Amino acid sequence: MTNLDRITTDPARMNGEPCIRNMRLTVRRVLEALATYPDRAELKREYPELEDEDIRQALAFAAASLDDKILPPVVAL
């Protein structure tokens, strides 16, 4: 796994949710913002504290958190 040094967790902050650089900005909020603002310039206007590396690491964290299962092929009857 790549270095995710900008993703922090603290039980006393945001109920222990993964955050960006100990800010009160959760990884979940960043992902929701990416879905809402697909244009990075608009996203950065809305969240000026976000840096490109924050966004990259939020996406990498989300991808690493998904279960990667290989499902058997579906057989049509």
Q: Where are the domains of the chain?
A: 7-65
Please choose, from the candidates 17, 20, 16, 15, the residue with its C-alpha nearest in 3D space to the C-alpha of residue 5: 20
> Contact, 47 vs 25, CB < 8 A?
yes
What's the confidence (pLDDT) of residue 14?
Answer: 95
Task: Assign 20 to helix, strand or coil.
Answer: strand
Task: Please work out, in degrees rounded to the nearest 5, the angle formed at the alpha carbon of residue 21 by the alpha carbons of 18 and 26.
Answer: 35
Tokens found for residue 68: 């990667």
Per-residue pLDDT of the chain (77 residues; tens, 9 = 90+): 569 999 999 999 999 999 999 999 999 999 999 999 989 999 999 999 999 999 999 999 999 988 777 778 888 77
Domain 7-65 class in CATH: mainly alpha
pTM of this prediction?
0.81
